């Protein structure tokens, strides 16, 4: 497939680029400073800004899939959706957050008293992003939420998938590596099971 990744130089974006190339896809890495990524076979690096929809849409034309892997606070979902729609690409995947996952029926992780203050604004914006997507019917979107701790790790290929509830392991921890998250995202691209849905991944 031809896959465009907006925010390809971030912690998650880089792993998604690696996983997509590993599987033989053609990847366009879009970032404000694409020089942060090393050129490789199958990878086209281009400069682009998520907040400039007219230019971004031109970069997205001709792709099979668009992946958004950018900080929610640094972007405007309406502008991103405008760019995707204008490009003609129907498949749109978003690197989501964990804050909007439920820890109990009707109770979100972001609203819990021990939720870290320094990520609360970003988590809240992520929840707003998901709610915005849920009203969109003309794109085949998917929002993949990581577990509570999203960090460097190993590519194991061993993880669980869930829907709207936070996944917690038998050790009481809720986490997923960037590398295994990328596997789950590419699995969804190659074998779609969550069209116009959110799902989550964790150990």
Mean pLDDT for the chain overall: 96
Say if residue 1 is exposed, middle or buried (CB neighbours under 10 Å; 0-12, 13-18, 19+): middle
Strand partners, 107: 104
Interval 130-189: pLDDT, tens: 999 999 999 999 999 999 999 999 999 999 999 999 999 999 999 999 999 999 999 999
Q: What is the pLDDT of residue 180?
A: 98
Q: What is the pLDDT of residue 52?
A: 93
Q: SS3 for 166?
A: coil
Is the pTM value of this prediction over 0.85? yes
Task: Find the length of the chain.
Answer: 203
Interval 66-82: pLDDT, tens: 999 999 999 999 999 99
In this structure, are strands 197-202 and 160-162 parallel, antiparallel, or unpaired?
antiparallel
Interval 77-121: pLDDT, tens: 999 999 999 999 999 999 999 999 999 999 999 999 999 999 999
Q: Which residues contact 202 (CB under 8 A, 6 or more apart)?
A: 146, 147, 159, 160, 162, 166, 167, 168, 169, 174, 175, 176
Full domain range(s) for residue 17: 2-202
* Confidence band for 48, pLDDT divided at 50, 70 and 90: very high
Token match 């879009």: residue?
30
Token match 């991103």: residue?
80
Read off the DSSP letter of residue 165.
B
In the chain, the number of structural domains is: 1
Task: Report the CATH number that the domain containing residue 26 is assigned in CATH.
Answer: 3.40.50.720
Q: What is the pLDDT of residue 134?
A: 97
């Amino acid at each position: 497939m031809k896959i465009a990744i907006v925010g390809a130089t971030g912690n998650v974006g880089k792993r998604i680029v690696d996983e997509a190339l590993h599987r033989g896809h053609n990847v366009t890495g879009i970032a404000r400073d694409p020089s942060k990524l090393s050129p490789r076979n199958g990878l086209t690096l281009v400069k682009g800004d998520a907040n400039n929809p007219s230019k971004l849409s031109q970069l997205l034309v001709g792709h099979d899939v668009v992946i958004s892997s950018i900080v929610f606070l640094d972007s405007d979902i309406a502008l991103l959706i405008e760019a995707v729609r204008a490009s003609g690409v129907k498949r749109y995947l978003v690197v989501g957050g964990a804050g909007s996952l439920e820890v109990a029926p009707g109770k979100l992780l972001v609203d819990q008293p021990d939720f870290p203050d320094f990520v609360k604004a970003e988590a809240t914006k992520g929840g707003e992003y998901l709610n915005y997507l849920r009203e969109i019917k003309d794109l085949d979107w998917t929002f993949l939420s990581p577990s509570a701790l999203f960090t460097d790790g190993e590519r194991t290929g061993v993880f669980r998938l869930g829907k709207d509830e936070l996944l917690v392991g038998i050790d009481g921890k809720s986490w997923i590596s960037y590398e295994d998250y990328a596997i789950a995202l590419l699995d969804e691209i190659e074998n779609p099971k969550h069209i116009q849905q959110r799902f989550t991944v964790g150990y």
